[in-house]
Structure 1
Amino acid sequence: MTIATMNVASLKVVKNSVIGNRTAKGAYGSDEAFVSKLVDALNDPPVSTGDSATAIRVEASHIIASLSYGSPDALRTLLRLNTPQALLYAISTFPPSESATLKAALARALRAVAAAIADVVGPSQWGLATSVSDVRAEAKAALDYLFQSEVLDVYIPLLVDQSTQVSAAVAQLLASAVRDASHRNRVSEWSPIAERTVEAKGKRGWEKRDPTKSPSRLGGWIARTLSTLLHRKDAKLQEAALSALASLAKDNETLAIRLAKGPPGQEPVLSAVLSLCKSRNTDLQLAASLCATNILRASSSPNSSYFPPSDQTGAITIMHVLNRIIGSDTASNQTRTKACFILYHLVADHKDFCQLAFDRNSLSHVGQLVKSITPVEKTTEEEEDEPESVSRLREAALTAVAAISLFDIDIRTAVTDELRLIPAIQTSLSHRYVGVRYAACQCARALSRAVSALRTNIVDTGLGMSVFRLFMKEGEDRRVMHAASTVICNVVTDFSPLRSTLIDQGAITRLVQLLNTGDVELKLNALWAFKNLLYKATPDLKRQVMSSIGWGEMNNLLVDPDMRIQEQALHIMRHVADGVDEVEFVFSEMGGSEAMLGSLAVAMESDDEDVVLQAVFVLANVANSPAHQRSILSHPRILHRLRECLVDAKVEIRRPAVSCVLELVRQNPRSHRELHEAGIDSTLRHMCEHTSHVSASPTLRVAAGRQAMGAEDDLEVQEKARQALHWLEHSLDMDV
């Protein structure tokens, strides 16, 4: 489809044919010779056509921007021809007198290409991406290139260009292309070369620097510049600046706190953002709501040292705006989709905000939306004819429902009994659109966390078995399988009526398959399900499960590089070895005392507290078997680590550790020599001697349940330490 003459007229024909036409984009985009001419024209336009070079460059930029959207073939060709580099070179050579039209065209083209590349690399900004592109590796390299320091020096300064179209395009680029923490940090910390030079001179110590002009003192050049753009009376520019700030503040605690707190004597940027949530412009409301959401969530993270005073007030403001949009009959599907996803980002994994969303009727709004767009009885033909915008809206609304109902049983009851959403969720499990199936699984996961729902609604409606059928489906999307496996983790617990049915229908075999897929997250969920399945399991079920996993594989899992996998494997061993006969079974299959205790010793020496916790629980179970107590007492590494757990581990670890010691001394009254050599006897005395002192002196206590100076402040640990010491001292009296 190469055009004969590269002139303004012919380029406009191409431009008009590819705008909004995926077929034409694919055809022109696959023509590498034509696209190569376009890319060349960005910096070296033909001059024999009688048209101005600027006009040709503008039209070529427009076509490239259009080709980058909607056609994988076109994007593949653009990447192969190094289009981002060509656009950046064109921008880097702008003379002071360059026309605003050309600058805006090139900036938009760069924004469009960057956004398309970022969409391929991921993660997706609005829901689940439908597929994984075969050019992801090339796209990732191109995206990393765009965020190199010297490349940022080329296009970031355009944020302060006199043309609002140019500055808006660069802000939109940041909003759409910043997807991961490394890129986020590079952009957030960027400053102009002049400011970097001032910083460098100041660090030499020979030049006095005004601290008020330090970029770090003022909150960063990018944050200051984008915040300034919020006050311009241009809705498109404000929306772009808000979206850029939202991308940069996401999971970025340092920047978020700056935006939420503000310099002394100045209004925080967050206040201005929340004010824009009340704009009459819906797109501006959405951008402001997302920006405020990301600032609130990042600045009030569990590890944050700052708690914004407007935390709940800001959340209520955002919810009020989103509720109105979600409940609107006139808002477009795309607009309501964004509103639902912003609500999800606001409440996800935040118990207080979930409750607030329930109290402010956000759940009711998204629930009613789900019901209104989800016919429970729908033919395959009708589903295939469903517009993609409706499918994406259903995905967004279900995702919000799942997030809001994750923690509280009353909220889950509202989902099942008041809103009656289970039929819509069940129907969505078989939807052709991957994002809808994934979101429906997330809803089922949230509901299955409630014992009452698990015993009634999930069984009675068939939702549990619908998820199980999806879980058993070969070739299902990996992300959907991950979500479905989290539901199975809940459905195989000992109080689930479906437990036996799922076992009979092949759940164990399917979980073993997931264990061997090579996908870490699926592997982790399979182990989690096995852990739940083995809790209070019969000896026969334990043998069936362990035979299916394989003892050799279990040994591999216990030394897996991923600490999460080690933790789950140890938790499985804890449930298997919860009786004297079962301990014998485990020891025989694990290669005897030396191998078994050696594995536990290694786990107890881990730097991961969760791994140590489960290893100590396994040891405590083993200590309940008289046949293996002497093996523990004759294992210096285990006893030494057991003493360390009593001294400086968190209280959750100290409890099983002291139980283990108590059982050992109670059943082996003449074990004081081994315990003395390990220092456990003196540790027990220290724990008991300081009991009264600890109670009177809170300053000795350490956060998170840790001890200080061997003192013990947990009543359960105190009592068992006292009992263990009594048995030890009694055995010494007997020896005398």
Structure 2
Amino acid sequence: MAEATTGGTQHRDYVAQLGSSDPDEVYGALRTIKNSVIGSSTKKALYVRLDVVAAVSAVLASAATGVASRIQATAIVGSLARSRTAGAAVAGGAVARGVVAALVRQLEAGTDARLVEASERALYALLAHSETLGAAGGAAEDALVAQVLGIIGSDGGGGGGDSAAGARAAIRLELAVLIVARLCVSEARQYMVANTGVIDALVRQLARTPAHVRLQAATLQALAALSYENGEICAALAEVGDGGVAAAVVRLARADDAHVRLHACRVAANLSRMRVLAGGDVQAVVVPALVRLVREPAGDVDAVQALGYVCHEDADVQAAARAAGAIDALVGRLAAAWAAAQGDFGDAARFAREARAAFLALGTVVSTNEESRRAAVDAGAFGHIVRALGHGDAGVRSAACLCARYIVRSVAICRTHAADAGLLRPLVGLLEDGSSDVQATAAATLVNLLSDFSPLRADALRLGLLPRLAALLDAGAPAVRRNALWAVRNLLVNVDDATRAAVVDAVGMPRLLALSEGADAALREHAVGALRNVAADSAAGCDALVAARGAPATLHLLAALAARPDTPADRPALVHALYLANNIVVRSDAHRAAVAAHVPLVQAVVAHVESRAPEVAVAALWCVSSVAAAAAGDDAAAGLRLLRRLGVPQVLARLLADPALPLEVQDRVKGCMDSLGCTDGLGAGASPDDTT
């Protein structure tokens, strides 16, 4: 214990010596600290606790500090910024004390070459923390950009060469290009960097002969950062040079060097997502290259992320990924990550990053294709998912939920493998997770598992699902509330009256009615959809809905919901509202006449008959047909008179005369005309058993 105390005191003394007025004492302390922290995470943590960042920052800020001491102090900053545990805190403390500005000043012309190199490396390490540059201030940012672009523009020795000077110049150019990559941490900074003209300089690097491999990889990394999720810059890249960047990145996706292949594929993925790169090249070259990189035992996790990114919402690219063996490669990556995490030198942070990337990429690859989902199950994906649902990292749990959600989109898998895999119990438990992201993805996964065809619905109710879902409707995170309400809506599809009453009692009819009037479009959609399902094929459900507020207030609500504008955002809720009114007319003996004769409601329904959206027009026409057919019971004849007074027969005739009318709308128009007595021999058809 005494030895440890002595050691701790000694390190504290070294930090104190940095404030000495003796330059030699300061240099000696800096050199000792630098030698201690390089390569030692323990010493880095120790010196961070001793507030060495403040002391070193003061050394760099002093005009009296000589070159030798500056080199040592700069190396300390760079080493501490690379700490996996304390790097972000070091960067924040350094920036707050003006270190970025001091390092940029050390890049100025005439500065000692060794100090310039140390400063560039330290800046590169600091910029790994995305918040660093923003906190540094505009002047430091502008100066840094000017410096690195000057290096790239001068291009001295960038092609490599046998001389030591050429090698040093190439290394400096590579580092400057990598700093550009780290500058592009937001859309605003992407544009800021692109507007300097650096794109032309970067593209020239790709055409170098002979190629400098490390510089080539760095250049592609910078282009990937510049173009990520930025359609304008992707379009600009397509027009730069002879034939743009697309041909170059496809060619480099076949390169011998793994880093060049990886970053070429990342650029290609960006161009593909922005529809700048031809789909054939992506499917034939880029996807197979990424799958090969994923298969490599020491492959970079960025390859996994790039594979998921390029496959996002593109069924053709997903099919190419499946054909290239992506599913087996990703499941194999998960197995390897678990094995590595259990070893003596297991890295929890690395495992979490690997697992998150693999689950998200696997979910994306299988998201649109039934054959891909079966392949994932056959490869053993469910075993990894169930294990990950209990992992300590919230990101791993959330990614596993998302992967499961896409796999159980399959009806066949939901009926068979999902039940056998043991997914249900941990998913229900995750509704009470401490992370709102996990709660949201768990609820979204349960949406698919609670469909009427799923054998797990009854088991979920026995596991206490209902009170958990009801509690989530009051959660602070909007995504949690929406997905929980979506799960409630699915629970109400094709249920018996006892289950319907249990769900409504747990959630509360007043709450569903209130949510149907809320400002959140997604919540409103699911709330009105849930009410539609409550009233579907159930007189008891209709009566319970109306009883919650009374007939006048319920009719007013239905009229308000049906009168909402037919916009893309409001359309799903509007369709549900029209079918909800239809369900009450069809199923409720007690309330059909009141609905059919309610002028504002019927007017709102009729106004949507001519909607350009077929799903809206069909829903409105079903409701019109049901109101008209209800007249046969004598107590709803007012509804038929109202429809005629509103000119519905003339509207229907006009629609039927439209040669561009979609077939599904045309069929419903004919049914309505028959219900209104406008035609002979055109069957009205039966009202749907309507749930959604």
The 2-side partners of 1:145 and 1:390 are apart by 30
Residue number among 176, 181, 202 corresponding to 1:175 in the alignment: 181
User: Kindly tell me: are residues 278 and 628 of structure 1, through their superposed partners in 2, closer, same or farther at Cα, counting changes over 3 Å?
Assistant: same
Question: Following the alignment from structure 1 to structure 2, what is the Cα–Cα distance between the partners of residues 635 and 181?
Answer: 52
Partner residue of 2:669? 721
Question: How big is the shift at 1:95?
Answer: 4.4
Match of 1:346 in 2: 310
For residue 218 of structure 1, what is the aligned residue in structure 2? none
Question: Is 1:464 aligned with 2:428?
Answer: no
* Alpha-carbon distance in 2 for matches of 1:384, 1:678: 79
Choose the corresponding residue for 1:399, options 344, 360, 364. Answer: 360
Q: CA deviation at 1:599?
A: 5.5
Who is 2:688 aligned against?
none
Quote the residue 2:579 is aligned against.
Answer: 617
Structure 1 pair 675–61 and aligned structure 2 pair: CA distance change class (3 A): farther
Relative to structure 1, the CA distance from residue 436 to residue 90 in structure 2 (aligned partners, 3 Å threshold; closer, same or farther) is closer
Q: Distance in 2 between matches of 1:313 and 1:74?
A: 39
Q: Please say if 1:426 is aligned against 2:405.
A: no
| Structure 1 residues 43 and 497: alpha-carbon distance in aligned structure 2, compared to 1, 3 A threshold | same
Of 147, 151, 159, 2:149 maps to: 159
Moved more, 458-467 or 245-254: 458-467
CA distance in 2, matches of 1:169, 1:385: 31
Q: Could you list the per-position Cα deviations for residues 225-258 of structure 1 after superposition, in whole angstroms to 9, with x for gaps in the alignment?
A: 3323333543333222222222232222222233
- Is contact 2:95–2:135 with CA below 8 Å preserved after alignment? no
Displacement of 1:267 in angstroms is: 1.4
Going from structure 1 to structure 2, the CA distance change for 1:714 and 1:66 (only over 3 Å counts) comes to same
Q: Which amino acid aligns with 1:66?
A: S
Match in the other structure for 1:319? 287
Change (3 A) 1:180 1:82: closer
SS in 2 for 1:313: helix
Does the C-alpha gap of structure 1 residues 484 and 21 become closer, same or farther in structure 2, counting only changes over 3 Å?
A: farther
Counterpart for residue 13 of structure 1: 32
Which residue identity does 1:191 align to in structure 2?
A: N
Say what the alpha-carbon RMSD is for the aligned residues: 3.3
1:687 pairs with 634, 652, 655, which one? 655
1:126-151 deviation per Cα after TM superposition (whole angstroms, max 9, x unaligned): xxxxxxxxxxxxx5xx6545696x66
What is the 5 A alignment of 1:133-148?
139=131, 144-145=134-135
The match for 1:191 is 195
Letter in 2 for 1:587: V
Question: What does residue 413 of structure 2 align with?
Answer: 453
- Rounded Cα–Cα distance in structure 2 between residues aligned with 1:464 and 1:152: 51
Match of 2:104 among 79, 83, 91: 91
1:680–1:601 CA distance, 2 compared to 1 (3 A): farther
User: Following the alignment from structure 2 to structure 1, what is the Cα–Cα distance between the partners of residues 465 and 28?
Assistant: 64
Q: Measured at CA, do residues 97 and 372 of structure 1 come closer, stay the same or move farther in structure 2, by a change above 3 Å?
A: closer
1:642 counterpart residue number: 605
Q: Deviations over 1:485-542 (max 9, x none)?
A: 2222121111111111110110111112222221111112111111111111222222
What is the CA–CA distance in structure 2 between the aligned matches of 1:611 and 1:167, rounded to whole Å?
56
Cα deviation, 1:548-569, whole Å, max 9, x if unaligned, reads: 2223332332233321111111
- Per-residue displacement from partner, 1:330-382 (whole Å, max 9, x unpaired)? x42xx34332222222213322211111112222223334345546xx9xx95
1:4-153 aligned within 5 A: 4-5=17-18, 7-32=26-51, 34-47=52-65, 53-70=66-83, 75-76=88-89, 78-80=91-93, 82-83=95-96, 85-88=98-101, 90-91=103-104, 95-116=108-129, 118=130, 139=131, 144-145=134-135, 152-153=141-142
Match of 2:685 in 1: none
**Structure 1 segment 242-641 matched on structure 2, within 5 A:** 242-259=220-237, 261-262=238-239, 266-297=242-273, 299-300=274-275, 308=277, 310-328=278-296, 331-332=297-298, 335-372=299-336, 374=338, 382=342, 386-388=346-348, 389-390=350-351, 392-417=353-378, 419-469=379-429, 471=430, 474-579=432-537, 580-598=539-557, 600-602=559-561, 604-606=563-565, 607=567, 608=569, 609-624=571-586, 625=588, 627-632=590-595, 635-641=598-604
C-alpha displacement at 1:686, in angstroms?
A: 1.9
Alignment of 1:188-227 (within 5 A): 190-192=194-196, 221-227=197-203
| Mapped partners of 2:468, 2:112: distance in 1 | 63
Task: Identify the residue that residue 697 of structure 1 maps to in structure 2.
Answer: none
Superposed CA deviations along residues 275-302 of structure 1, whole A, max 9, x for unmatched, are 22222222222111112112211x22xx
Separation in structure 1 between the aligned mates of residue 27 and residue 203 of structure 2, nearest angstrom: 39
Could you tell me which residue of structure 1 aligns to residue 157 of structure 2? none
Q: Counterpart of 2:447 in structure 1: which amino acid?
A: C
Which residue pairs with 1:707 in the alignment? none
Change in 2 beyond 3 A, CA 1:70/1:94: closer
1:25, 1:71 within 8 Å by CA — same for their partners in 2?
no
Aligned amino acid, residue 428 of structure 1 = A
Conservation of the 8 A alpha-carbon contact between 1:409 and 1:450? yes
> In structure 1, how many angstroms separate the alpha carbons of the residues matched to 2:386 and 2:343?
15
Contact 2:80 2:90 in 1 (8 A): no
Instruction: Rate the CA distance shift 1:423–1:46 in 2: closer, same or farther, 3 A.
Output: same
Counterpart Cα distance in 1 of 2:145 and 2:580: 56
Please, which runs of 5 or more residues in structure 2 have no aligned partner?
1-11, 155-168, 632-636, 680-692
C-alpha separation in 1, matches of 2:437 and 2:366: 21
Q: Do the aligned partners of 1:511 and 1:526 also contact (CA within 8 Å) in 2?
A: yes
Residue type at the aligned position of 1:659: W
CA gap of 1:728–1:178, structure 2 versus 1, over 3 A, is same
Distance 1:648 1:144, change over 3 A: farther
Q: Aligned partners of 1:657, 1:519: CA distance in 2, in Å?
A: 34
Task: State the alpha-carbon separation in 1 of the partners of residues 628 and 676 from structure 2.
Answer: 6
C-alpha change, 1:664 and 1:151, in structure 2 (3 Å) is farther
Q: Kindly tell me: are residues 14 and 445 of structure 1, through their superposed partners in 2, closer, same or farther at Cα, counting changes over 3 Å?
A: same
Q: Which residue identity lines up with residue 503 of structure 1 in the other structure?
A: L
Judged with a 3 Å threshold, the aligned counterparts in structure 2 of structure 1 residues 678 and 19 are, in CA distance, closer, same or farther, namely farther
Read off the aligned partner of 1:451 and give its amino acid letter. Answer: V
SS of match in other structure, 1:646: coil
Residue 659 of structure 1: CA displacement? 0.9
- The question of whether the paired residues in 1 share the 8 Å contact of 2:535 and 2:545 is answered with yes
Kept after mapping to 2: 8 A contact 1:494/1:533: yes
Q: Contact 2:213 / 2:260 at 8 angstroms: preserved in 1?
A: yes
Compared with structure 1, are the counterparts of its residues 443 and 70 closer, same or farther at alpha carbon in structure 2 (3 Å cutoff)?
same
**1:341·1:397 contact (CA, 8 Å) conserved in 2?**
yes
Q: Is the 1:35–1:78 contact (alpha carbons within 8 Å) kept by the matching residues of 2?
A: no
Mapped contact 2:355–2:396 kept (Cα < 8 A): yes
CA distance in 2 between counterparts of 1:542 and 1:12 reads 74
- Rounded to whole Å, the distance in 2 between the matches of 1:637 and 1:250 is 50
> 1:366-407: per-residue Cα shift (whole Å, max 9, x none)?
3334345546xx9xx957863334554444334333322222
Counterpart residue type for residue 408 of structure 2: S
TM-score (norm 2): 0.82
AA matched with 2:425: M
Checking the alignment, whether the CA contact within 8 Å between 1:468 and 1:484 is kept in structure 2 is: yes
CA contact (8 A) 2:33 2:76 kept: yes
Q: Show the counterpart of 1:699.
A: none
